[in-house]
Structure 1
């Protein structure tokens, strides 16, 4: 089902805004994680982990869910489809996995922030949990940059479903005659 142009642009704007917001907030989270791990100032460490918890639950998680939802709406309402092109499918898989891992990751953030709220963390306190926060945030930035690149470059390649839809479109035209299929628009 194709969306009218005005609705498609609104959905695209919402998807871009939530996706870019997700990437930016994860980058800020990464800075806080590095500051929390490397700073010698107990108050800065405490503040970093408390800010990470707030940023995670009230900015990153909502933006991740909004990006997933608006991406689904965008793919289902445009000629790109959800399962027709490998790049859309790859973005979907990366976004679903990243969102799932984010929700798991927030449990660790809650634990470290809780410890920071109760007492000042020293350099060695919870280091087995604090170091992965930096790695996980850096990996999330890399994944989100990958999904962004997929959106910009849109590598060619149809899935089996995409080929089936394309071939059905060719045979449905002009009483079964084979013709050229319109290429999806340059922007999704």
Structure 2
């Protein structure tokens, strides 16, 4: 089932917008995580950073992750690229699904740190490991999203076995 050009462009626009939004909001999340970690004795700054991280995560990043996944599925199923015909599409799918699942786990940590920030002043080593984990996880997420973006731009060659089978027996002779 191939989409009409107008529908394809609309779906592509939605996919690019949600994916770029996800990337940008993760960059903002990383900035807040660094600000919270390096706030030193400034309890108000740390509290504000961690509360903003939780809100940004649940109300911006999580919806954009699901929107990116959904629009990517629509794009792959409605175009000739297919969902599992090309390795780069399959790699993007795997990266996006894993990133979304890990995001949901990561948000539990962000929520815990935000809850602690409300009740304590987070001075010194309070939740130090979790605060460092927030920075590390955000950096890793940013890297994964940049790799997925690179795959979209460069579209490395290579078809899966399924993709070759769909092309037919003469495709291997070309």
TM superposition score category, shorter chain reference: over 0.9
Shift of 1:123: 2.1
Q: Which residue of structure 1 lines up, in the alignment, with residue 39 of structure 2?
A: 39
TM-score, length basis structure 2: 0.96
TM-score, length basis structure 1: 0.89
Shift of 1:119: 2.2
**Structure 1: 4+ residue segments shifted above 4 A:** none
2:60 pairs with 1:67 = no
SS at match of 1:12: helix
| Count of residues paired in the alignment | 173
Shift of 1:89: 0.1
Q: Map of 1:1-188 to 2, 5 A cutoff?
A: 1-40=1-40, 41-167=42-168
Structure 2 residue runs of 5 or longer lacking an equivalent are none
Q: Summarize deviations over 1:52-78 as a string: whole Å, max 9, x none.
A: 000000000000000000000000000
Q: Structure 1 residues 86, 65: closer, same or farther in 2, change over 3 A?
A: same
Q: Highest CA radius of gyration, 1 or 2? A: 1
Report the Cα distance in structure 2 between the residues aligned to 1:148 and 1:80, rounded to whole angstroms.
Answer: 16
CA RMSD of aligned residues (A): 1.5
CA contact (8 A) 1:37 1:123 kept: no
CA contact (8 A) 1:22 1:60 kept: yes
Report the Cα distance in structure 2 between the residues aligned to 1:118 and 1:60, rounded to whole angstroms.
Answer: 25
Report the Cα distance in structure 2 between the residues aligned to 1:2 and 1:128, rounded to whole angstroms.
Answer: 49
Structure 1 residue runs of 5 or longer lacking an equivalent are 172-177, 181-188
